[in-house]
Amino acid sequence: MGNRLSKIVTKTGDDGTTGLADGSRRNKNDIRVHCLGEVDELNALIGLCSCLIEHQHIQTILLQIQHDLFDLGAELSQPSKNLLSIEHIKMLDQQTEQLNQHLPPLTEFILPGGSLSLSNLHLARTVCRRVERNLVTLNDSEKVNTNSFTYLNRLSDLLFILTRYLAAESNIDEVYWQSEYSRIRPEK
């Protein structure tokens, strides 16, 4: 393979535009470019999570997700290209099912936190949801691969399950939301 990025500083974006892989140029505030940036942010956050987690199986899952997110970015930088398939979604579903079967049933909402690793996985889940919402916005004006929506929806579920699984493996108690503490009570 030749050098894919032989020149990093091109100065072509100095005018407020950026180039897509198909050769077209878009404003940097264009919704497609915005989605590309958010996928990149999510991928970087998944990388941070992987660095903080010493559990080999989870690291393997997160690495595969990073590759998938690069595929999603490639899709977004080449309008009308579809790279994420039902097979990507099935992989997420299999991991979710496998990890979830070891967890106790959930009866309350979990407060994000518990450790640096868990907090960052929770943050990755919320960023994933934001990426999903913005992809829907993009789809309002330009068609997007429907597998990408499904992938992001399932990915946020898997990130939640990974958080619970890591908490259980690390013997960190999950903190459940207590609604009675979240309300202002009138004085009697």
Closest CA to 108 of 183, 182, 177, 179: 177
pLDDT of residue 174: 82
Q: Quick check: is 71 in a domain?
A: yes
- CB-count burial class (<10 Å; 0-12, 13-18, 19+) for 175: middle
Predicted local distance difference test score (pLDDT) of residue 1: 45
Q: Per the domain annotation, does 95 fall within a domain?
A: yes
Please tell me the pTM assigned to this model. 0.85
CATH code, domain carrying 125:
1.20.1200.10
The series of mean pLDDT values per 10 residues for the chain, 188 residues long, is: 50 59 69 90 97 94 97 92 96 96 86 91 97 96 94 97 93 79 54
Q: For position 185, what pLDDT does the model report?
A: 55
For residue 97, what are its two tokens? 């099912």
Q: What is the DSSP string of 63-127?
A: HHHHHHHHHHHHHHHSTT-----HHHHHHHHHHHHHHHTTSPPP-SPBPS-SSHHHHHHHHHHHH
* Domain count for the chain: 1
What CA–CA distance (Å, rounded) separates 67 from 61? 10
Predicted local distance difference test score (pLDDT) of residue 188: 53
Query: Is residue 10, in this structure, part of any structural domain at all?
Result: no
Domain around 55? 17-181
